[in-house]
């Protein structure tokens, strides 16, 4: 564990009560800067996530000559340079911990006239990029990876891209988005066919920027060579961030919590469907639209959860929320079974293995599989010291678990919480979940 990475001490609490708005949606924040940069005219973004991942995307486009102003927190003004106005950066584009930035940029940069090199931190350097590089090569892109298809990515310029029809072997919004972004620069038609639905923020936002795109069932299709026009965008609150509070209020008896302005895009609401199937009390209130995305307020109250077999069709719609859903399963009555989620093993950490190790330290009985986990819930959780594996979502999930633990949970290696949810500890404390920070301990976590 790096000496500079703090520990969290999660002391739990009682009932969660109040009204909050969680951080802006990270997926939409990334895409708003990317598309605003290659649009013509000015794009005004409200609710931008001021986290390290989103800021890495912003910095990359500044390095390619795009003027981006930040007049106040959460507000970003992008002065677009058009589809062919990006400039060669002076050096590597360092994307930190952001796999979304790297995969989407691989597509967008594949059709540029200049070469780029995409690098990241130690965690990102372990993540697979061949799933993006290989279909982009079918379009004519010249991309080199490190051994094993890992970063850094070397994207050679001046490639003449051609549209292809690509049937994705595994559902992945990031791969789909990379191909559609490359398709903007390709000659002819780019068609992407998904094996299962994934988040569709790229398709919605392309339409919001005035770019023609056809969607029909599992198909997304566009023609290269069009134009994007700058737009005004409101980023909804991130349902992946809201998920921690949905589970926290569900497992803490007597809770009554209102989450304002949460994005409820149907390709992202698997967490709500899974929790409701487990018996959670979640109301969807004041449904409306913001920037082409459906938004609502969510009211969640404490409930007695029960174990379920998670429907495989919901897995791609909740892939980022499973760490905290595992905590819900540990607090539910009976067994919860997840299969078809092999994607979890190649996130910021191997989320199946790291969560399993932490849950076992809390006294939870479970079995793991290559593509999932079986969790036997219902037992009280023991205090323990946990290693988050440097994974922000795992760190926050075990903070939530402290609500049902018999003593504090110490979570090591929590620096990356800032990548997805700046202000998490303060917001948690405002509704009754106590999480303190301390310098890293000398001893290694279990």
Residues that are catalytic: 320
Phi then psi dihedrals of residue 379, to 5 deg: -80, 155
Return the structure tokens found at 136: 């982009």
Return the structure tokens found at 116: 């780029």
- How far apart CA 176 and CA 180 sit, in angstroms, is 6
Return the structure tokens found at 252: 């803490």
From the list 324, 307, 310, the residue with the least C-alpha distance to 376 is 307
- How far apart CA 221 and CA 180 sit, in angstroms, is 8
- How far apart CA 342 and CA 336 sit, in angstroms, is 17
CB 331 within 8 A of CB 358: no
User: CB pairs under 8 A, 24+ apart, for 313-316?
Assistant: 313/196, 314/270, 314/273, 314/274, 315/196, 315/270, 315/340, 315/341, 316/171, 316/196, 316/197, 316/198, 316/270, 316/343
Q: Is 106 helix (H, G, I), strand (E, B) or coil?
A: helix
Return the structure tokens found at 44: 């005004």
CB-based contacts of 309: which residues, under 8 Å, 6+ apart?
A: 336, 337
């Amino acid at each position: 564990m790096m000496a500079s990475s703090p520990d969290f001490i999660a002391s739990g609490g009682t009932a969660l009560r109040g009204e909050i708005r969680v951080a802006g949606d990270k997926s939409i924040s990334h895409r708003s800067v990317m598309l605003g940069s290659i649009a013509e005219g000015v794009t005004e973004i409200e609710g931008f996530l001021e986290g390290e991942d989103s800021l890495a995307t912003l910095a990359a486009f500044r390095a390619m000559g795009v003027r981006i102003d930040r007049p106040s927190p959460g507000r970003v003004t992008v002065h677009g340079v058009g589809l062919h106005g990006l400039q060669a950066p002076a050096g590597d584009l360092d994307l930190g911990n952001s796999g979304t930035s790297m995969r989407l940029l691989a597509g967008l940069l594949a059709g540029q006239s200049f070469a780029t090199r995409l690098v990241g931190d130690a965690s990102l350097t372990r993540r697979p990029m061949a799933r993006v590089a290989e279909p982009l090569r079918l379009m004519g892109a010249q991309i080199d990876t490190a051994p094993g298809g890992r970063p850094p990515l070397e994207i050679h310029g001046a490639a003449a891209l051609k549209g292809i029809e690509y049937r994705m072997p595994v559902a992945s919004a990031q791969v789909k988005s990379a191909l559609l972004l490359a398709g903007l620069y390709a000659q002819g038609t780019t068609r992407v066919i998904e094996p299962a639905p994934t988040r569709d923020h790229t398709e919605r936002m392309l339409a919001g920027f005035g770019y023609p795109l056809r969607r029909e069932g599992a198909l997304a299709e566009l023609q290269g060579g069009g134009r994007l026009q700058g737009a005004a965008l409101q980023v909804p609150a991130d349902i992946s961030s809201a998920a921690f509070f949905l589970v926290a209020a569900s497992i803490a008896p007597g809770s009554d919590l209102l989450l304002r302005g949460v994005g409820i895009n149907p390709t992202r609401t698997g967490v709500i469907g899974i929790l409701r199937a487990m018996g959670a009390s979640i109301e969807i209130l004041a449904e409306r639209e913001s920037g082409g995305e459906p938004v609502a307020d969510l009211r969640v109250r404490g409930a007695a959860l029960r174990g379920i077999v998670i429907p495989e069709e919901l897995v791609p719609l909740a892939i980022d929320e499973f760490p905290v859903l595992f905590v819900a399963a540990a607090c539910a009555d009976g067994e919860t079974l997840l299969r078809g989620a092999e994607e979890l093993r190649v996130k910021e950490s191997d989320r199946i293995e790291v969560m399993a190790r932490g849950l076992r330290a809390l006294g939870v009985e479970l079995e793991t599989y290559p593509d999932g986990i079986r969790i036997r819930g219902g037992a009280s959780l023991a205090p323990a010291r946990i290693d988050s594996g440097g994974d922000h979502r795992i760190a926050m999930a075990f903070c939530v678990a402290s609500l049902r633990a018999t003593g504090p949970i110490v979570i090591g290696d929590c620096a990356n919480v800032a990548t997805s949810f700046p202000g998490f500890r303060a917001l948690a404390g405002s509704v009754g979940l106590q999480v303190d920070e301390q310098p890293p301990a000398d001893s290694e976590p279990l």
